[in-house]
Amino acid sequence: MINLGIIGCGHWGANLVRNFSITDDCSIKYVSELSPERQKFVKEYYDEIDVISDNEQLFTDDEIDAIVIATPPSSHYKLAKESLLAGKHTFVEKPLSLKLSEAIELVNLAKDIKKVLMVGHTVIYNDSIEMVKDIINSGEIGEIYYVYASRLNLGKVRSDVNVMWSLAPHDISVILHILGKKVLSVSAKGLSYIQDKIEDVVYLNLNLENNINVQIHLSWLDPNRRRELTIVGSKKMLVYDDTSDERIKIYDKGIDKQNQYPYMGEYKNFGEYQLIQRAGDVVIPKVKLNEPLKKECQHFIDCITNNKEPMTSGKSALEVIRILEHAERSLYDSGKEIFLNNVL
């Protein structure tokens, strides 16, 4: 039985408490929370959990095997470091840190003390995303041309990080996971409307290997709640919509080049080929609708119990932070394209 301490029980922390409370082979001993209102919430619904306001008690209690951190992003590095130095397995909500150097330090520390360090890139645990990855790997979409994603909502507006650091980790982690390609360069432009110097709208551009371009639109100021990912390939096109019951749609659409008079693979003039628009069926595969967070919580416990590296390990999170750090440089340099050094 793995004994847990959870730091933070805000909106997302409450979801973690709910899921870990029903996860096999673990028990929540403490929830550390400063807000009296949130403390009352935990006491009302989970009377078996001790509610405290001092994180130190989690770090010093020898009965605590692992600590789950669900606090604002600016506190992740400090709390994760304290947790690891106390010899605890550690789960940190995304992003792992706001600086690549700090994230590398945490990954090396976890490796040195042989403890699990896992990051809450929850979308990776969505069965729909795994199906999208399988479809791409099967070759059904063909050569990937470009990808664009939208993560829009009206709120929740943060004051410690901008919308890119808050929302982009979801899309970046998914894109790296399903495409398996390196990001070569990034650029970003953003606008601050609500708070000075905290961008609530960001347009993020990633250039990947194989000439794949990715554009991500992020906003806290949009009338529509949107969680979409569109993948355009040489054979077909795919749309993943996290807000729809029809999560995945595969469109047999594209432009085919028909060579009427092939000669050594070349064309002598415009009349020797035709560009034909193709519009076939739309396939909506059946997807099992699971709660990704439940799967993620169980994975953390299983990795501790069986001494395995998590699918969203601290090491895997380094690339996400590296991309975000370079994108932030671009954001404050008029959207300049920044090339990534392949060495972490």
DSSP code for 307: T
Write the pLDDT tens digit of every residue in 65-122.
999 999 999 999 999 999 999 999 999 999 999 999 999 999 999 999 999 999 999 9
Would you say residue 277 lies in a domain?
yes
* 342, containing H or E segment: none
Strand partners, 67: 5, 90
Tokens read off for 110? 């976890």
Work out how many domains the chain is built from and give that number: 2
Write the pLDDT tens digit of every residue in 147-158.
999 999 998 888
| Co-location of 68 and 192 in the same domain | no
3-state helix, strand, coil in the chain (%, to 5): 35, 35, 30
| Co-location of 167 and 108 in the same domain | no
Q: What is the pLDDT of residue 343?
A: 45
Q: How many other C-beta atoms can be found within 10 angstroms of the C-beta atom of residue 168?
A: 25
CA–chain centroid gap for 242, Å, is 13
Q: What is the CATH number of the domain that holds 244?
A: 3.30.360.10
Which backbone phi and psi does 274 adopt, to 5 degrees?
-130, 145
Is the sign of the CA dihedral 239, 243, 244, 248 positive or negative?
positive
Residue at token pair 């099967």: 138
| Co-location of 286 and 298 in the same domain | no
Strand partners, 131: none
Helices (H), ranges, 153-291: 163-179
Q: What is the pLDDT of residue 265?
A: 56
> Which whole-number Å values give the CA distances from 177 to 125, 169, 257, 277, in the listed order?
11, 12, 31, 31
Would you say residue 332 lies in a domain?
yes
Residue 262 in this model has a pLDDT that exceeds 70: no
pLDDT-based confidence at 180, cuts 50/70/90? very high
| Co-location of 99 and 146 in the same domain | no
Q: What is the CATH number of the domain that holds 54?
A: 3.40.50.720
| Co-location of 332 and 276 in the same domain | yes
Would you say residue 218 lies in a domain?
yes
Write the pLDDT tens digit of every residue in 22-50.
999 999 999 999 999 999 999 999 999 99
Domain residue limits at 330: 127-290+324-339
Q: What is the largest CA-CA distance in the chain?
A: 79
Helix (H) and strand (E) counts in the chain: 9, 15
pLDDT-based confidence at 266, cuts 50/70/90? low
Residue 254 in this model has a pLDDT that exceeds 90: no
> Which whole-number Å values give the CA distances from 67 to 32, 189, 302, in the listed order?
10, 36, 15
Classified as helix, coil or strand, 111 is helix
pTM over 0.85? The answer is yes
| Co-location of 301 and 328 in the same domain | no
Tokens read off for 75? 């506190």
| Co-location of 266 and 164 in the same domain | yes
DSSP code for 165: H
Would you say residue 267 lies in a domain?
yes
Would you say residue 34 lies in a domain?
yes
Strands 221-233 and 144-154: antiparallel
